[in-house]
A = this chain, B = another copy of it.
Amino acid sequence: MERPLDALSALKGKEVNVLLKDGTNLTGKLEAFDIHTNVVLSNATSGSKKLDQIFIRGDMVTYIN
Chain B residues within an 8 Å CB radius of A39: 4
* Count of chain copies: 7
Q: Digit string of A25-57 for contact with B (CB within 8 Å is 1, else 0)?
A: 010000111100111100010000001111111
Among A23, A26, A52, A61, the one with the most B-chain Cβ atoms within 10 Å of its Cβ is A61
Classify chain A's interface size: 35 or more
Query: Contact at A3–B21, with CB atoms within 8 Å?
Result: no
Chain B residues within an 8 Å CB radius of A34: 3-5
Q: Within the complex, what minimum Cβ distance (angstroms) separates A60 from chain B? A: 5
A interface residues, Cβ below 8 angstroms from B: 1-8, 20-24, 26, 31-34, 37-40, 44, 51-65
